[in-house]
Amino acid sequence: MKKLFSVLIALLLVCVGMSAVAQGSPISKLPWQKGPITVKLGSNASLQVPEGYMFLDASGARAFNEITQNPNGDKDEYIFANRTEGWVAYFSYEDTGYIKDDEKIDADAILANIRAGTEAANKERRSRGWGEMNILGWSAKPEYDTQLKSLTWSILGENESTHDKVANYNARLLGRHGVMDVVLATSPDKLDMAIEDFKRRVSGFQFAPGETYAEYQPGDHVAAYGLAALITGGAVAVAAKKGLFTVIGGFLVAAWKFVLAGLVAASAWFKSLFKKKN
């Protein structure tokens, strides 16, 4: 149950200032790996990191989360970033079982559950001294690609204190035994460009042999929920049906991602980082 409640549905990013990306900052000291390189995303998948992009393994990602005020969950995350366009993508694998993809998605109902959960989550955020969130709506409604076996959506929100608009693009890549969660974080004005760039680069992602969706075999574990729950989280989706929005709120506190707004404007910093490693 604990594992189910740690499912990431990272919804938002928020501005925390340019100073953290200055030379000599903790972020510049993280163990970034630069492309071209092929990296493992745990034991279930791999990713080709092309030239001009960089990667943090699980330990590096945990340190990055601490710097950017992201709670670390009980599963490993990996970070894939564009050094010039200012976006960061989080990869994490969820051992959900095989997800049947024949469910119709009710976008309005899902958004209502997310908003209710966000209100509950803000109570916890206040107790931690973190900025509160407001969900503005879909930037892109959920869409399932039957060929690629991927579910994507994007939610637009804002920091209630500063009213800065924030956006995350989400993808769920379905495999035989589970799902690779991917969250692309950037600023709203860069979102369309970041999504297009990310879609080109994610072609380098692949599940390990025996782990692809097409390799499903009768007798494999099948999840008790479908596509809609991948947006609100399996056990959390059940809680929503029961009106337990405080449960959803606790889930969202652990799920939200905060990245540096400065990443969007810090291409010079990224370039200097790579020059130092050449």
pTM reported for the whole predicted model: 0.77
CB burial of 161-192 (b: ≥16 within 10 Å; e: otherwise) equals eeebbbbbbbbbbbbbbbbbbbbbbbbbebbe
Which amino acid, 214? A
Q: Which residues contact 192 (CB under 8 A, 6 or more apart)?
A: none
Mean pLDDT, consecutive 10-residue stretches, the chain (278 aa), reads 28 33 68 95 96 95 81 84 85 94 89 79 75 85 94 85 79 96 84 91 95 98 90 53 41 46 41 48
Per-residue model confidence (pLDDT) at position 24: 58
CA angle 33, 35, 40 (to 5 degrees): 65
Res 12: pLDDT? 30
Predicted pLDDT of residue 65: 82
Quote the pLDDT of residue 11: 29
CA 258 to chain CA centroid, Å, is: 10
Instruction: Please give the C-alpha separations between residue 105 and each of 109, 112, 247, in angstroms, as whole numbers.
Output: 9, 13, 22
Q: Return d(Cα 22, Cα 16) in angstroms, integer.
A: 13
pLDDT of residue 71: 64
For the CA atoms of 6, 223, 145, 142, what is the dihedral angle to 10 degrees? -50
Task: Say what the pLDDT of residue 174 is.
Answer: 98
Tokens of 195: 């999504």
